[in-house]
Structure 1
Amino acid sequence: MTVVGPVTERWAPEQAGPVHENWQLAAPVGPETDLWALGALLFRAVQGHAPYPEESTAELVQLVCAEPPAFAEECGPLRPVVESLLRQDPTDRLDFEELSGWLRSLVRSAPEPDAGTHVVPVPPADPSRLPIVRRRGELVRRRRAALPDTHPHGRHKRAREGRSSPRSLGRTLLLLILLLLAGAVAYAMLFLPKQKDDGAAGDDRTGSAGQASPAPSRSAGPASGRSTPDGSPSASAPATGTQTGGGPAVADGFTLRKDPDGFQVAVAKGWDRTPRNGSGQVVYAHGNFELILVPGRDSTSSYGSDPMVYQRDKEKELQPYRDSSWSTATGLRTIEVGGRTMAEGQFTWTDGQGRDLFVRNMAILIHGRYHLVQVRGPEAQRDEITRLYDQATATYRYTG
């Protein structure tokens, strides 16, 4: 680990397995490891960064074994190839023949680059002339030999001494920048008006122009780990939202629905509700979007007390993700606040109709039972799905 360091290409899961005690796969290191390295290299070359954080070797090894890589969103036609090569299970990766076929197909279908107007044409090759074979360093010796023997060494020396080096130029620029910064600080201290004392200012905040501005909201969403007394997550709502009967703030375009199955949640206006089905799901739907709510169907006595394990391995609503051959998971994290535990994540998979789905999911543990908030929709509509998900998780309350 010390010699290799935090380099994703060198830490395939089967290589990291011996140093990660919880890793379950034990595939031998072989060609699949080289395919992993190729996938990480293609990801790095196209995306501009590695598929995993590389600040620490120990963290990189743990992430490689426990979480899938980042989305290869900028890889274009290469995306399915890259994401397949970066699968954690070596047996799920493309083999050499499949990879060769994919790459040949992509090369054949790739458009020719636009050469543009500033291109120097290459002169046609003369087949009657043989290439000139030169020894290493021959051109340098000839160039030096062509210099006159009586050149004025003193003039060249003085010219070299008078010419500024890049290092001295960098020092000069740095000195000028520091002087400008010092002047700006001095000007601010001498001439700009001083702020009021914190005790006299109260809750009002005044800008440099003397106009009062409201204090920023301190409410936080699921990402900051806030929760309400009943264990449901709480998130900040947009400033244009409305307050309903002392309950959570609801954004414009949403309405707070008090469901007869024992919960309340903010749903976009105009959505249709489907009564609880045989899987214990209450579904609100509109077009290609679905809000799925499961109020306490599964218990910790049957599914364990770890929401992340439940979400990743046991949650029925994510079974299509586990069954799909083209699926990804990212943003997996556990939130523990006030004795309550939640797990959330982002998932993609291809459904039975060939549609690419993007899913935001949260599993909330309340009084020994799991409550689920899940929003599904087309992968191309990620921002809209996130907006619906944020409102649902911020306003979900168990009332049963």
Structure 2
Amino acid sequence: MAMVKARVSTAELVAGRYRLVDVVQRETNRVGYYGEDMETERPCLLTQIGLPDDPCPDAAGRTTSRILRASERMGLLRPGHVAPVLDAVEESGSLWIVTDWIDGTPLGELILQQGMFNHVRAARIGLELLDVLEAAHVAGITHGELSPGQVFVGGDGSVVVTGFGLAGATLAPRVAAPSYASPEQARDERIGPASDLWALGAILYTMVEGRPPYRERDRPEATLKGVDRLPLRAPVRAGPLTQVVQGLLRKDSRERLSRPAVRDTFVRVLNEDPETATQEMGQTRLRRRYAVGPTWSRRAMVAGTALAVVTVAAAVLVVTNGRSNDSGPASAGSAPGASASAGAPTAQSPTPSPSPSQEGTGSKPPTASPSGTALPPGYRTYTSRDGFSVALPEGWKALRTKRTGDLAYRVFFSADGDARTLAITYSEALGSDPVAVWRDEVQPDLEERSGFRRIGDIEATTYQGYEAADMEWVSENDGTRLRTFGRGFLIGDHRGYSLRWTTPEDDWDDPANREALDVFLRTFRVAED
């Protein structure tokens, strides 16, 4: 499938009529623009979707007709909650869908801006979505492309859905946002209402967890493979929505919860906490009135969305790859033995180049470690603004930080020309079992990397009084075999840290490297809250 261009000139006209003004949202293979209809001088929303490279001659005509018909039918079934399609055209390998400008914020942007939703707010949006899907399913219509980018939330909490008619418009199992595809779509099988219920479950998961249940990978095929084959990462913040989320995200479509069962859960959650539901609606209105101002419905969401695109990439790396629990050896005074091992944070991310903006306050030359014991010669204590400290070799510094708002971050430490790397990760979206985090969330990502092989078992341990787990692996980066030791530990309320120490495999047992790992693990400290 041809992917959507990263940028489209705002000076060009689509179909000789629609002027692109600003990007308002992005998903894999889908870009939304604020635009203007030059004939009517009205604002509009234009959605650009990449089409297969070699469509059959009549495919474009069938696709646009399908979208227009589905939109018209859904507009009659749920007026005001489905965006009417004004025009659909194929141009230069892209499908362009034009609707009236929607007075609402894309759900994906809300999640990026505001982080995880409480279960009441998620239930309110979920119930609105369910109403739209139920109307479609009763009429024999499957959406098939539902994702946060196809859901717009108004200032009063109401929902408008776009994208009806896209499913089946191309030969691809999923036109866009493959991380929200159902397993049957991932296998390119026939889909129906159960696929929409899966997507609803994935959207609920994203609202309460702050990340999708299956991450976007480099290629859509790899994402779909993960959706089909990888186990679900158990939700940890869904509260009373936990069972409905897990029930909707069952791999076997025949086992998914029914619409009535889902509706009952949403209604129960809202009835049990009506005060919070009322407050959520009021806060949404206040945010819209005072935070974005009266002109928001046309332009103000643009800047936030542009930043959101960058945040998504960071979130994928930090919250999935980097949110693993990883830190040092079982005993504070000794490095792990040869049976423990480690892969390579550097393998997933080559040794970064120095950045002018450093993560912390820089190295200081104290004579003692944070624990009060003397440091070996050539080490200094680094104190991060984010609330941790660790002793580093002379000349080492924070080279790069990947951050996802306040949810997670990863800091890479090394020195110019040094093949070794220390990566420290913090996350607020961890499960309750450090072993399971390594096994179910980190290892599946590492397995996609060249030459990955885990060494030994993932071992449960304790670290500074916290529950922890150790994992070691080898991998390859630019032809170099790397070995990594990782320890992750929980500090409470789904929060935790990990440390990953990576060296060239041939140098793993070098005494200086063993000493460095020992110092990292012995001196790492979390600042008191």
| Both proteins in one fold, TM over 0.5 | no
| TM-score normalized with structure 1 length | 0.36
Looking at secondary structure, tell me which structure has more strand per residue: 2
* Larger Cα-atom Rg: 1
